[in-house]
Amino acid sequence: MRQLIAGNWKMNGSFAALAAYAGGLKAGLARVSAVDLLVCPPDPLVRPLIDMLASESVAVGAQNCAEKRAGAHTGDVSADLLAELGASHVILGHSERRMDHHETNAQVRAKAEAAIGAGLIPIICVGESSAERSQGEAVTVVRAQLAGSVPEGFTGVIAYEPIWAIGTGKVPTEDEITQIHEAIRTALVRQLGEAGAGMRILYGGSVKPDNAQAILALPDVGGALVGGASLKAEDFLAIAAAAAGG
């Protein structure tokens, strides 16, 4: 299976820096042709980045969508509008959304259903806190998030992001990553059958060029959801090159 290297810019990026980023990314695409690339900037940059890349080899997605398809929901952005802009994917249930905006598993599930209805590929995030891991509850927490967040018949992507590793520089051991990814795979097969057996499971949490190769070689790791390192085209390409074996 081709690995997916997805960049989550969070609330970073600017119009002024976009052309240079797109140019740097395009210049390095030849060496990462063996993997799939996805960049998820803030919503106002989705269409401009698509236009600047002008490349079918790099997908552009969004970081969130509304539960509803349309209506009186001031400040929300529908999955349908994101799809109309040209977005291919949407990140849902990121820990920052779950914590800062108190999103529940049920809301993430509803957003995933809206995204699928609009033709987007959802990337549903799951992950435990430091306290939950120290109490030995990591697998239990992630299984509960999957059970509540993943809709019936889901065909998207799952991303495991331990909350304590996001933006901290801390990274789980290879054994810890393998354990959770194996647990996620088992849960997906139980929930979704054959579709769960082949679903991509990304790892996210302080992924950098110097640790990417080891992480991406682990069983059941189908790619990476990259935060800060995706803001520099050179670093993002280096992570993608590690996935491609070089």
pLDDT digits (tens, 9 = 90+) for 195-239: 999 999 999 999 999 999 999 999 999 999 999 999 999 999 999
For the cut 80, the answer to whether the pLDDT of residue 110 exceeds it is yes
- 48 CA to centre of own chain: 20
* CA angle (128, 171, 157) in 5-degree steps: 55
3-state secondary structure (DSSP) of residue 61: coil
Instruction: Return the percentage of the chain with pLDDT > 70, whole number.
Output: 100
Averaged pLDDT of the chain = 96
Domain locations along the chain: 4-243
* Model confidence pLDDT, tens digit, residues 154-179: 999 999 999 999 888 898 999 999 99
Query: pLDDT category, 246, cuts 50, 70, 90?
Result: low
* Fold of the domain built from segment(s) 4-243: TIM Barrel (3.20.20)
The catalytic residue positions are 94, 161
Pairing mode, if any, of strands 36-40 and 58-60? parallel
Give pLDDT, residue 245. Answer: 75
Q: What is the average pLDDT across 113-117?
A: 98
Q: What is the average pLDDT across 89-106?
A: 97
Give pLDDT, residue 1. Answer: 82
Q: Which two tokens stand for residue 205?
A: 């949490």
Give pLDDT, residue 124. Answer: 98
Please tell me the distance from the alpha carbon of residue 225 to that of residue 155, in angstroms, as a whole number.
18
